[in-house]
Structure 1
Amino acid sequence: MYDEEQLLSNPLKRKKYQGFWYILLLLTLLLYATCFVAFVPVSLPSFGRWLWFSRGIDFSFMVVGDWGREGHHHQKKVANAMAVVARQTNPRFIISTGDNFYDYGVSSARDKQWNSSFESIYDSWLKNIPWYAVLGNHDHLGNLTAQVVYSNRSERWNMPRPFFSLPVTSRFGEEYLFVFLDTTPFIKDSYGEAARRNGRQNWRLQLSWLEKLLNSSTSRRIFIVGHHNLYSSSIAGERGREELRILLKPILDKYSSRIVAYISGHEHSLQHLQPYGMDGMDHFISGGGSKTDPLKDPPKESRQYWYDCCKVLPFGLSEKDKPRALFRASKHGFFVFKLYRSELIAEVYSQKAKLLYSYNKKILP
């Protein structure tokens, strides 16, 4: 009997021959793909992005602020939750938005708080993740130079100077720029006076440095990190800082097309704000590292007053083109930012490692 007749009369053999042709087709496609990569003038990273990783994550990072209380006020619980989430998200680094040590900073690079508020608290899966930190107002009541010097003693603590920048190249070749500011010298209160007098911090010099940095950078994905927030969704607490809206905001506005977000702490809560509406720069407040503060809405009849005077953004507003607050919680927790080729995902986690909020935003390729 001829092979053709056998195939028609024996279904098992027909399936066997069909499997052979499927394997042959797969090998042909694999050979074609190999030749394409070898001979077509396209780099492997860009080929990978185009073919395999169109939705692949570039990298992720965590943000926590207002934390240094020797494990008290839920600090250790937040740290444990960060370790749990770190196992899942594999952050490239952790950003601290300041007030690293309460209530009066540290006295030296050998201060016991380095262990009791930092090294022994953020352990487990956080041990080998580098930190990049800014100074908070409470840090300026201590020896701010000690937090810079500790960078030479620690394998994970990074603060080369009170304000600095960090260029990051992702695994797909995208260029990011992280800018870390020391906002306390801008503030007209006793903390600001201490920063300008004891720390000899010159806010004019810092603004000049920032302007030159942003002007010379070619990155289209910039994150600005500072301790103080410019805006708030609550009339409790300090309601954002007018000094920063006067001095810092003009520079942020000038380069807003390339700045993805301004990230801060100071207010002991978790917030996501859109002062310019949906199409503008996002502001994130991550100040839930330990002790939390209440959130309070302005009375209905005085909402416009609070917005005019202090830029308190209305919470729950549905108009996407108006200043608004999208999320807020007076909870202990932290942020995780995930960066993709053309998308940012911001997530908020509680001290129980529970996802509280998630936000997606398209960003420039």
Structure 2
Amino acid sequence: MAIWYRKSMALSLLFAIAFGLCFFFTSAELQRFEHPTKSDGSLSFLVLGDWGRRGAFNQSQVAYQMGRIGGKLDIDFVVSTGDNFYDNGLTGEEDSAFEESFSRIYTAKSLQKQWYSVLGNHDYRGNVEAQLSPLLRKIDSRWLCLRSFIVNSELAEILFVDTTPFVKTYFTDSEGHTYDWRGIHSRKAYTANLLKDVESVLKESTAKWKIVVGHHAIRSVGHHGDTKELKTRLLPILQANNVDFYMNGHDHCLEHISDTDSPIQFLTSGAGSKAWRGDIKGHNKEGLNFFYDGQGFMSVQLTQMDAEIVFYDVFGNILHRLSTRKHLHSSI
């Protein structure tokens, strides 16, 4: 009886430890990074996604225009919406793709600022732990990539969300691809706890502007279209908590779509390199303000009352401008 009891207690303890570790990895408090505004209280940054191809597919040309526009706007940082390294992420911390696709491409003086990055589905096909490793920051101090985190300023709160684990097909129908799910353990627990964190952060936020960044689109008329899991699970939280902008990549294009049920503006910037897929989901055009199938990027300028978001092509031409006054949205 005593032996059985000891074994039972040991098993219970192991289960508790395993559950605790799982909870730790899926529900740890999101890390916050403070980023000051300019002396006039404003904030400006560039948004780029789906870029890491060692300069190919016009990546270098987009980088050049980013440097030019970044200098003109005196940007504070850069946001990467994921799929940072193609085709299959990084193989390890010493993978030359990091320098060949990042450090040696974005060389302009104006781009020597902090880069805040999320993971995309292509990044999950490689060594995720390597891409998240602090050792990469020793190679290039601009690099900061975490699964989910928060960037705070006096003006805006930007919540970066790890969207890849929400997509069920990556777990059930990988199409021959291998994904690195270390640190996820349970998709159900991971996504449920992440949504709780997102809701908590947004509810408590007192920022003038609330911005959420993820890799996958909630709304898109591009090649991949809407991400149904995000529409069902994430979107209601954003709508209920007065989020101003949801920014993403994944579709290799530039888009602006207005939510029909809230003030949220869906902004796709996933045109950092390979683009021109040549297809558009015509049945999904509700709220569509702008769509461009080629390469480019996006700039964001924020003040206490106004936001100006501009989409640029690979030549630096302005394709579309969204000017928003707080509580009053208008597209130009």
TM-score calculated relative to the size of structure 2: 0.79
Alpha carbons 1:138, 1:191 under 8 Å: kept: no
| Partner in structure 2 of residue 224 of structure 1 | 212
Q: Which amino acid aligns with 2:165?
A: P
**Structure 2 segments unaligned to the other structure (5+ residues):** 1-38
Give the 5 Å matches for 1:225-244. Answer: 225-234=213-222, 237-244=223-230
Q: 2:161 and 2:179 mapped to 1: Cα distance?
A: 13
C-alpha distance 119-325 of structure 1, shift in aligned 2 (>3 A): same
Q: CA deviation at 1:115?
A: 0.8
Q: Aligned residue pairs: how many? A: 279
Deviations 1:79-126 (A, max 9, x none): 011011111111100000000001110022221011110000000224
Answer whether contact 2:125 2:180 (CA < 8 A) is retained. Answer: no
CA distance in 1, matches of 2:160, 2:310: 21
Q: Provide, for residues 129-163 of structure 1, a one-character-per-residue CA deviation record: whole Å limited to 9, x for no partner.
A: 1100000000001111112214542311112x311
Map of 1:184 onto structure 2: 164
Q: Relative to 1, partners in 2 of residues 1:85 and 1:243: Cα closer, same or farther, differing over 3 Å?
A: same
Residue 147 (1) aligns with residue 147 (2): no
Q: Determine the structure 2 residue equivalent to 1:355.
A: 318
The match for 1:168 among 125, 141, 153 is 153
Q: Which amino acid aligns with 1:182?
A: D
Residue of structure 1 in register with 2:29 after alignment: none
Gaps of at least 5 residues in structure 1 are 1-52, 170-174, 299-305, 307-311, 315-322
Correspondences of 1:82-231 after superposition (within 5 Å): 82-150=66-134, 152-153=137-138, 154-159=140-145, 161-169=146-154, 175-190=155-170, 197-200=181-184, 202-231=190-219
Instruction: Give the whole-Å Cα distance in 2 for the aligned partners of 1:85 and 1:220.
Output: 25
Change (3 A) 1:341 1:89: same
Structure with greater proportional helix content: 1
When Rg is computed on C-alpha atoms for both structures, the one with the higher figure is 1
2:297 to 334, 338, 346: 334
Instruction: State the TM-score, normalizing by the size of structure 1.
Output: 0.72
Structure 1 Cα separation of the partners of residues 99 and 119 of structure 2? 18
Q: Distance in 1 between matches of 2:257 and 2:210?
A: 17
Could you give the per-residue CA deviations for residues 229-283 of structure 1, whole angstroms, max 9, x where no partner exists? 011134xx2211101111111211210x2x1100000000000001226x61100
The residue type equivalent to 2:163 in the other structure is: T
Is the Cα–Cα contact under 8 Å of residues 74 and 110 in structure 2 kept in the other structure? no
Structure 1 residue runs of 4 or more that deviate by more than 4 Å after TM superposition: 191-196
- Match among 281, 287, 293 for residue 270 of structure 2: 287
Distance 1:127 1:271, change over 3 A: closer
- What one-letter code is carried by the residue in structure 1 that aligns with 2:294? K
1:210: Cα distance to partner?
1.2
Is the contact between residue 221 and residue 364 of structure 1 (CA under 8 Å) also seen in structure 2?
A: no
